Amino acid sequence: MSVNIVCSTSICNEFKKCRHYRHSLGLVSTVEKNGQRMLNEKDRFSYYYTSQYKTTIYAQGSIGDIKFYIDHFVRDDNFGVYVGETFEEFINTFDRDLVKEKGIEFYIGHLLKQAEEAYDEKKRNDELKKIEDKKPADPQKLFANPGNVTYEDLKAYMEQKNQLRYKNLENQ
């Protein structure tokens, strides 16, 4: 599971104090295609963030699968954690007291645990919502509105037809 963190320069400097932090030069944010400057699509997260928020972020480094970016328009202690392939966003506030007490490694682990739990809960809620949103199958829809028939409607029609067939056989 990929994790991306977008924060201010001061918070990124705190994350850089981790002994596992590796600096990276990142990728160029725009490339020239057909004589025009276009967004670089090689860094999927940077492309997503730039498209979503209309601001450029700069890659700073990584700790394993966690990539750190700076957004110069973020000025406070809030930062975004983006989890998974769909880049689910979770906003956090940097807790300097916890970092002083337990260390930056503990804080990053704590942050990852929170983000993973929130992501799993969101996925479960989305699955439950899909189940709740399912409409009951309507076997009569095949005749009333054939252009809007779903597989479930067709399945319900076939089951109803089979039940009628078995009742007719039993009556004979």
Residues 36 and 59 in one domain: yes
Does one domain contain both 117 and 166? no
Q: What is the pLDDT, as a whole number, of residue 11?
A: 95
- Eight-class DSSP state of 137: P
Query: Same structural domain for residues 76 and 147?
Result: no
CA Rg, the chain, in Å?
A: 26
**Alpha-carbon gap, residue 155 to 111, rounded angstroms:** 46
Domain limits for position 164: 141-171
Confidence of residue 133 (pLDDT cuts 50, 70, 90): low
pTM to 2 decimal places: 0.72
- Do both 123 and 149 map to the same domain? no
Mean pLDDT of 143-172: 81
Are residues 164 and 115 part of one domain?
no
Q: How many CB atoms lie within 10 A of CB 90?
A: 17
| Environment class of 64 (CB within 10 Å of its CB; exposed 0-12, middle 13-18, buried 19+) | exposed
φ, ψ for residue 21, nearest 5 deg: -70, 135
Residues 103 and 20 in one domain: yes
Q: Are 73 and 34 in the same domain? A: yes
pLDDT tens figures, 53-109: 999 899 999 999 999 999 999 989 999 999 988 899 999 999 999 999 999 999 999
Q: What confidence score (pLDDT) does residue 31 get?
A: 81
- On whether both 99 and 146 belong to a single domain, the answer is no
The reply to whether 164 and 111 lie within a common domain is: no
Measured CA to CA, the distance from residue 2 to residue 23 in angstroms comes to 17
Same domain, 47 and 80: yes
How many domains are there within the chain? 2
- 90-104, 125-139, 144-158: range with lowest mean pLDDT: 125-139
* pLDDT tens, residue by residue, 22-48: 998 777 777 888 888 887 788 889 989
Are residues 101 and 39 located together in one domain of the fold? yes
